[in-house]
Amino acid sequence: MFTKKVQDGLNDQINKELFSSYLYLAMSAHFESVNLSGFAGWMKVQSQEETEHGMKMYQYVFERGGRVVLEAIAKPAAEYKTPLDVMKKVLEHEKKVTASIEALYELALKEKDYASEVMLHWFIKEQVEEEKNVNDIIELLKSIGDNPAGLAMVDQRLGFRKKG
Ligand code: MG
């Protein structure tokens, strides 16, 4: 059964996904301002994906005959440091999102809402992917250290990411 508790949890998660989108867009804008267009492009795709995550849940709430309630989206930080620092912030943020999705999954189980539980499988798998991708970039950035040529190479590589 689709309970009010699960509906509230999903509405809350929609807000978190949309905040993620906004946060990554702020990071994309930061990278544009420091002429790292590959990083900026990668972040923009990341931002678009987060909007899609939010919309996936938005659509699902309607499918269950529920009500979507949109809350205010928090303001993301505008100032950032090095690319490594930004990517570490992304990983930290994604870990929080993972914990939040896992808590929602727990709630669906507790409420015996099996359909929501199954729907959330996709998100749980997606989080594994998200964390891995960001971790790979962090490792790459650590390996180049302060080498400008290395950073230019990573920027070029990230710029290849297309909207999937
Ligand atoms: Mg997401």
Least Cα distance to 85 among 30, 48, 159, 161 occurs for 30
CA 80 to centroid of ligand 1, rounded, Å: 21
Domains of the chain (ranges, CATH numbers): 4-158 (1.20.1260.10)
b vs e for 135-156, b when ≥16 Cβ sit within 10 Å of the residue's Cβ? eebbebbeebeeeeeebeebbe
DSSP H or E stretch at residue 40? helix 37-63
CA 151 to centroid of ligand 1, rounded, Å: 26
**pTM here?**
0.95
Q: Do 135 and 148 meet the contact criterion of CB atoms below 8 Å apart?
A: no
What pLDDT is attached to residue 164?
A: 55
The two tokens of residue 97 are 């999102």
Mean pLDDT by 10 residues, the chain (164 residues): 96 98 98 97 97 98 97 95 97 98 98 97 97 97 94 96 71
CA 146 to centroid of ligand 1, rounded, Å: 31
